[in-house]
């Protein structure tokens, strides 16, 4: 193989977005980039490498803390970070990200808040752990790209 080393991109985001991680891994790989990602999806129980792996509940926090540090080391290796700030339902009335009601039999989510019943607005989501990773990458001078827009407006629940 000749030429320059391909760029290395580290994927960051809420592990609940399992499908987005898989899609971004594919897209970035096909674009000729080396991808560093997460290997454990604790919020995706029905997906590969989810909470069904069997970590005892009393060990979960220690395992998560260790994996959070490991992910920072991946950011150290990366040339850039891609934040998977997927859209989630936001309720202006409740002032928070919420659950949209799932419509059985229609395989779709309704456009109203499961808590108050008012209509929701779908906004890019960035949680606290991802915010820390973004801040860390920026402190190292790493470029940060966002799946959805510029990363503005995504609030933690």
Indicate if 74 and 61 belong to the same structural domain. Answer: yes
Indicate if 55 and 115 belong to the same structural domain. Answer: no
Question: Mean pLDDT across the stretch 115-130?
Answer: 83
C-alpha dihedral (65, 125, 10, 42), degrees to nearest 10: 40
Which CATH number is 142's domain given? Answer: 3.40.50.450
Point out the least confidently predicted range of 36-45, 109-118, 140-149.
109-118
Indicate if 66 and 9 belong to the same structural domain. Answer: yes
Indicate if 115 and 150 belong to the same structural domain. Answer: no
- Give pLDDT, residue 76: 98
What is the chain's mean pLDDT, rounded? 82
pTM for this structure?
0.79
Name the residue range of residue 116's domain: 87-123
- Give pLDDT, residue 154: 47
Are the C-beta atoms of residues 134 and 126 closer than 8 Å to each other?
Answer: yes
Indicate if 10 and 62 belong to the same structural domain. Answer: yes
């Amino acid at each position: 193989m000749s030429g320059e080393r391909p760029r290395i991109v580290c994927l960051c985001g809420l592990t609940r977005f399992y499908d987005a991680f898989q899609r971004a891994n594919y897209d970035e790989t096909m674009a000729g980039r080396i991808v560093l990602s997460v290997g454990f999806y604790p919020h995706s129980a029905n997906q590969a490498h989810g909470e069904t792996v069997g970590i005892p509940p009393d060990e979960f926090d220690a395992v998560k803390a260790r994996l959070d540090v490991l992910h920072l080391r991946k950011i150290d290796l990366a040339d850039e970070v891609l934040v998977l700030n997927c859209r989630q339902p936001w309720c202006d009335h409740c002032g928070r990200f919420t659950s949209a009601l799932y419509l059985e039999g229609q395989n779709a989510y309704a456009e109203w808040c499961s808590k108050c019943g008012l209509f929701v607005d779908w906004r890019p989501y960035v949680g606290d752990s991802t915010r820390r990773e973004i801040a860390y990458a920026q402190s190292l001078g790493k470029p940060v790209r966002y799946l959805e827009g510029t990363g503005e407006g995504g609030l933690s629940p």
